[in-house]
Amino acid sequence: MLVSKLFTHTQKQDPKNEEAKNACLLTRAGFVYKNMAGVYSILPLGFRVLQNIRRIIREELQTFGAEEVYLNELQNKETWSVSGRWNELKDVMYQFSDSRGKDIGLATTHEEVVAEIAKNYIHSYKDLPKGIFQIQDKFRNEPRARSGLLRGREFEMKDLYSFHADEECLDKYYQKVMEVYIRIFGRLGLDAIITNASGGTFTRDFSHEFQVISENGEDTIYVCEKCHKGKNKEIVAGAGVEDSDLVVKCDCGAEMKKKRSIEVGNIFKLGVKFSQAVGLNFSDKDGNRNPVIMASYGIGTTRVLAAIAEVLSDKNGLVWNAETAPYQMYLIDLTGAGFGLSENLSDVVLMDDRDASPGEKFADADLLGIPYRVVKSKKTADKVEVKERVSGRIEVMEWDKFLEKLKRE
């Protein structure tokens, strides 16, 4: 792709009315556009990152047979009334009447919907376990939209829902998802800490959150540097308790340190709350009818985009890894001789063909966060200068050698 053909340009200044680092950087780099408070459009470079995030999640979830679905955003009041959540969530769920007087909500989550749908397909223990997931927009009427794309009113999430005949099966599946989540966040380049959190309204068990340490995070967690495990504030101190003076010990005995963090994923055992509400039952081997046991597992995909921008960026701009980057290399030719690119590279290469100064081009390569900047100049003669974005390391090498190296990685 030629830089001159990109839909967006970079901006030198931070946008007005934007405080969060992720929103400032992503806007300056042309990855996102703010439509209104808490609502962003994802522009082409940002979309390529989002597609990579989606792809990584899909690849990992498919390894254990979870199937993808695409659920309704317009929600039926009746569906949400059986669980009582039409009223419980009315402060955060956008709810309105259409011109025929029918009550409609916008999806904040889909537990009721998947339980209702599953009723048509799960009848016997032979139909269990099952897992379905969706990667879609969710809507939340946040009282105060803040932190850029970290806490918006419209955002994209991956939600996986699993269905089980017994606790043992649930526990095994839950453990497997936990392992897959560690792989997913690893591929995304995020060092996610698993924390115990309260089960909320769903279960008396702990639920688990995946937290990324960040100075601008909204959550407070305690982390054991020895175990790399964490506990969130509510678990440690109880809701509303001042925790500034608490000494928190890890299960291993070491003292835990307090840090700010971003929640990028969470996993919940839902138990039988929703299956009982909608009447999602199955016949066991003896012919007895029991409610299906459920769990749900979220990852905020647009929040991951923002979290990477928060924690992996530096003073020069964004930093993507090879898995998430919109393009793999940013080419700058100061000689006019060209790189002699083959067709099959066009999808991984950004070629800066603009009539701009070398300094501007260097700055944009950094701001966009492309993993490798490759410069051809008089100084490099028949070689190229390769700068690795994440380390800043510079190496002069043959162009073909660099391409080979990239292929091996």
Site residues (vs a second copy, CB under 8 A)? 1, 4-9, 30, 33, 35-36, 39-44, 46-48, 50-51, 65, 67-76, 79, 91, 94, 96, 98-99, 104, 106, 113, 117-118, 120-121, 126, 130, 132, 137, 139, 141, 143, 153-154, 156
Shortest separation between residue 194's beta carbon and a second copy, angstroms: 28
| Of 380, 374, 395, the residue nearest 329 (C-alpha) | 374
Cα angle 287-288-292, degrees, rounded to a multiple of 5? 115
For a second copy, the closer of residues 153 and 387 by Cβ is: 153
* Residue 332 phi, psi (nearest 5): -130, 115
Tell me the closest approach of the beta carbon of residue 264 to a second copy, in angstroms.
19
For a second copy, give the closer residue by CB, 28 or 387: 28
Least distance to a second copy, CB of residue 94, Å: 7
Q: Which is nearer to a second copy, 39 or 390 (CB)?
A: 39
Q: Which is nearer to a second copy, 24 or 113 (CB)?
A: 113
* C-beta separation of 242 from 306 below 8 A: no
Nearer to a second copy, 6 or 178 (CB): 6
Q: Which of 247, 257, 389, 261 is nearest to 313 (CA)?
A: 389
Q: Considering the complex, what minimum distance in angstroms separates the CB of residue 78 from a second copy?
A: 8
Six-digit token string for 367: 């701001």
Q: How far is the CB of 40 from a second copy (least distance, A)?
A: 7
Rounded to 10 degrees, the C-alpha dihedral 131/135/140/145 comes to 130
CB nearer to a second copy: pick between 223 and 351:
351
* Minimum CB–partner distance for residue 377 and a second copy (Å): 25
1 burial level (CB within 10 Å; 0-12, 13-18, 19+): middle
Q: From the CB of 47, what's the least distance to a second copy, in Å? A: 5
Q: Which amino acid is at 186?
A: G
Nearer to a second copy, 133 or 402 (CB): 133
- Hey, which residues does 373 pair with through a beta bridge? 330, 387
How many CA atoms does the CB half-sphere of 125 hold within 13 Å?
11
Q: Tell me the closest approach of the beta carbon of residue 281 to a second copy, in angstroms.
A: 16
Nearer to a second copy, 76 or 283 (CB): 76
CB of 141 to a second copy, least distance (A): 6
Backbone angle region of 65, left / alpha / beta, with phi > 0 → left and psi within -120 to 50 → alpha: left
Strand, coil or helix: what is 40?
Answer: strand
Q: Which pairs from 30-38 meet CB under 8 Å and 24+ separation? A: 30/6, 31/305, 31/309, 31/318, 32/149, 37/145, 37/153, 38/142, 38/145, 38/151, 38/152, 38/153, 38/154
Q: Is the CB of residue 185 less than 8 Å from the CB of residue 210?
A: yes
Q: Identify which of residues 120 and 391 has a Cβ nearer to a second copy in the complex.
A: 120
How far from chain centre, in Å, is Cα 91?
Answer: 24
Minimum distance of a second copy from residue 212's CB (angstroms):
23
| 8 Å CB contact between 237 and 243 | yes
Phi, psi (rounded to 5 degrees) for 69: -130, 170
Of 132 and 190, the one with the shorter C-beta distance to a second copy is 132
CA distance 263 to 258: 15
DSSP letter, residue 125: G
